[in-house]
Amino acid sequence: MSALQPVRGTRDILPEEMRRHRAVIETARETAERYGYLEMATPIFEFTEVFKRTLGDTSDIVTKEMYTFEMKEGEQITLRPENTAGVARAFMSGGLAQELPLKFFYAGPMFRHERPQKGRQRQFHQFGAELLGVPKAQGDIELIALGAHILSGLGVYENTTLELNTLGDSESRTAYRAALVEYFSEHRDDLSADSRDRLERNPLRILDSKNEGDRRLVAGAPVFGDYMNAESQDFFATVKQGLDSLGIAYRLNARLVRGLDYYCHTAFEFTTELLGAQSAVLAGGRYDGLVQTMGGPATPGVGWAAGIERLSMLMDRDVPAPRLIAVIPVGQAAEAVALNLTQKLRHAGYGIELGFSGNVRKRMKRANKLGARAAVLLDEDELANNSATVRDLDSGEQELVSLEAVAGYLARYR
């Protein structure tokens, strides 16, 4: 493959698509701030142990998908495949335990070595929200409500379904784990090689297998609800009641398991049928054991991440480019005036396009191609009277305006 092509699994985001991409981020950012969440950013790469310790040695991300490199010093670093672990690391290294509860959101690129598909690239972008220090179900309810609010703001909520499940507390999962081991051990020879390995290390991961043979066995596996203790049942009931009271519809999915080791209690996904195999657009859950797994204090947490590319694909509207105002000098003497007027108008808050060369016809053609709202034409005769012609490019109407009054006159085109 030519070195002048993007690396497989990566792609350029050109202006038209970038406007949709940006609309997703800005809508999510504005909505998250209404809920009291503050923006943060973590490094694009971390020490590999940050992810191996938290995502689990049996997860597909760790075993198959991470981009890991050895530094000259012998240390291993990994491009972040997700950002919850990085946020937890920042919480610990930043000494933020005394500031709980903490509400964070972030946006940026993630990296996974997967087979590229529609809506799934090896470099992709996520928007995420994390709530640390809230052990009660109200935290889960708020995070799900925030996700629903963002999807609504993007105009895609009606095309998604909230799937909901519980992973219970550690006592419930221990009992369920034993039941799964017993069941899948009876079908060991029919399991895929990956699931046979998971049976020994983390049998809950078998429930998330994409292998068709495994999925047929999963259909007959024990259901977690039969092994939940009273505390786990009460927690999940509170989450459902909260969502009911907010009018957020959901569908229970007993087979929904988040693919990471640090989740407990609530697991959820907003899914769609409009993107083919890549159905999840926003997903997350509770991860009370994450910080402790990393060597920090026991710290409850809940959060989610959303795929920016997938959400931008779901949006059923184009995001138009801003309509600029074209400044068009006519003749050599007008060039210097145009340059100064352009900067003055930009500092006044206007979006201005100043053509670098060409006659009036070519510059007007470019202005129309860019969808400019108006044009300021500067010719030598008018400049002698300290004036310019402002032409409305929608109606064709134009008016002679003094140069000092141009900035104020253009306010109608903001």
Interior/surface letters 154-170, b for 16+ CB within 10 angstroms, e for the rest = bebbebbebbbbbbbbe
What's the confidence (pLDDT) of residue 1? 58
Please tell me whether the overall predicted TM-score, pTM, comes out greater than 0.75 for this model. yes
Taking 70 as the pLDDT cut, the residues of the chain under it are 1-3, 56-63, 258-262, 278
Is the CATH number of domain 325-413 3.40.50.800? yes
pLDDT tens for each residue of 33-85: 999 999 999 999 999 989 887 776 556 666 678 889 998 888 999 999 999 99
What pLDDT is stored for residue 63 in this prediction?
A: 62
| Alpha-carbon gap, residue 35 to 134, rounded angstroms | 15
> Which among 307, 213, 207 has a CA at the least distance from the CA of 263?
207
Q: Structural domain boundaries of the chain?
A: 15-169+229-314, 325-413
pLDDT, tens digit, 9 for 90 and up, residues 303-336: 999 999 999 999 978 889 999 999 999 888 899 8
Among 18, 8, 253, smallest CA distance to 122 is for: 8
* Residue in 332, 235, 335 with CA at minimum distance from that of residue 286: 235
- How much is the pLDDT for 15? 92
| Longest Cα–Cα distance in the chain | 94
Which architecture does CATH list for 15-169+229-314? 2-Layer Sandwich (3.30)
Q: What residue spans of 220-307 are helical by DSSP H?
A: 230-246, 290-293
Q: What is the pLDDT of residue 115?
A: 84
Residue 242's identity, in one-letter code, is G
Q: Determine the pLDDT at residue 145.
A: 98
